[in-house]
Amino acid sequence: MKTGLEIQKDVMEELKWEPFLNSAEIGVAVNGGIVTLSGIVNSYAKKISAEKATKRVEGVKAVAEEIEVKLTQTDWRNDVEIAEAILNSIKWYATVKGEGIKVKVENGWVTLDGEVEWIFEKNIVSTAIEKLLGVRGITNLIKITPKVAPIEIKRKINAAFHRNAIIDAKGINITIEGNKVILTGKVCSLAEKFAAASAASSARV
């Protein structure tokens, strides 16, 4: 098992490996496998990139995100410009039914609401928005309203687990409750946990 210092060193190296990031802007502290990220970056995309890089490191159990986004004058956009950019970005994704999504922007903070059929649609929208200039944060309140029988969704997710080299499907239980997919069980790493969540969120029949 890795020590806190070993995890801290590996996280810092992973942050340096990301060409998009300036690792000197990000502080890393570790306590019991929980990594706290701090510092100031000039875009929400960098904040998310740092979080994703940290979650890839072996030994990381959880991430406490305390990075602050402070936009420079070059990166700043008014709320109307951001809202227009978001709506245009959503239109590029043919798999996302944009008419079911509502967008609110206040001081650079984006709130998403509405309904989509699949969780991957909800995730695609967040991923597209987090890269836009002027965005300081995202609250994703989009609801999932599946139109497929739960047993078929469960079968598709289970098949996705078996195709994934990282995931040990035998250690994960799948439960469907309404519009929620609940995964329980034990995995060997945070990376496997997020691989399972990603595979489940991509389920489409």
Using left for φ > 0, alpha for ψ between -120 and 50, and beta otherwise, residue 33 falls in left
Decide if 46 is inside a domain. Answer: yes
Would you mind telling me the total number of residues written for the chain in this entry?
205
In a domain, 47, yes or no: yes
pLDDT of residue 187: 82
CA distances from 173 to 154, 176, 186, 190 (A): 10, 10, 9, 17
For residues 127 and 158, membership in a common domain is answered with no
Q: Provide the residue range defining the domain that includes 43.
A: 4-69
Q: What is the pLDDT of residues 100-111, one digit of tens each?
A: 789 999 999 999
Asked if 137 and 154 sit in the same domain, the reply is no
- Is residue 124 within 8 Å of 93, Cβ to Cβ? yes
User: Beta strand 26-31 with 34-41: parallel, antiparallel or unpaired?
Assistant: antiparallel
The pLDDT score that the predictor gives to residue 205 is 47
Query: Which residues of the chain fall short of a pLDDT of 70?
Result: 94-98, 147-149, 178-179, 202-205
Q: Tell me, yes or no, whether 165 and 138 share the same domain.
A: no
pLDDT for the residue numbered 116:
84
Q: In the numeric block, which tokens belong to residue 174? A: 């799948």
Q: Ramachandran region of residue 134, left (φ > 0), alpha (ψ -120 to 50) or beta?
A: left
Which tens digit of pLDDT belongs to each residue from 30-47? Answer: 999 999 999 999 999 999
Do 87 and 59 reside in the same domain of the chain?
Answer: no
> Would the pTM of this model clear 0.75, i.e. be above it?
no
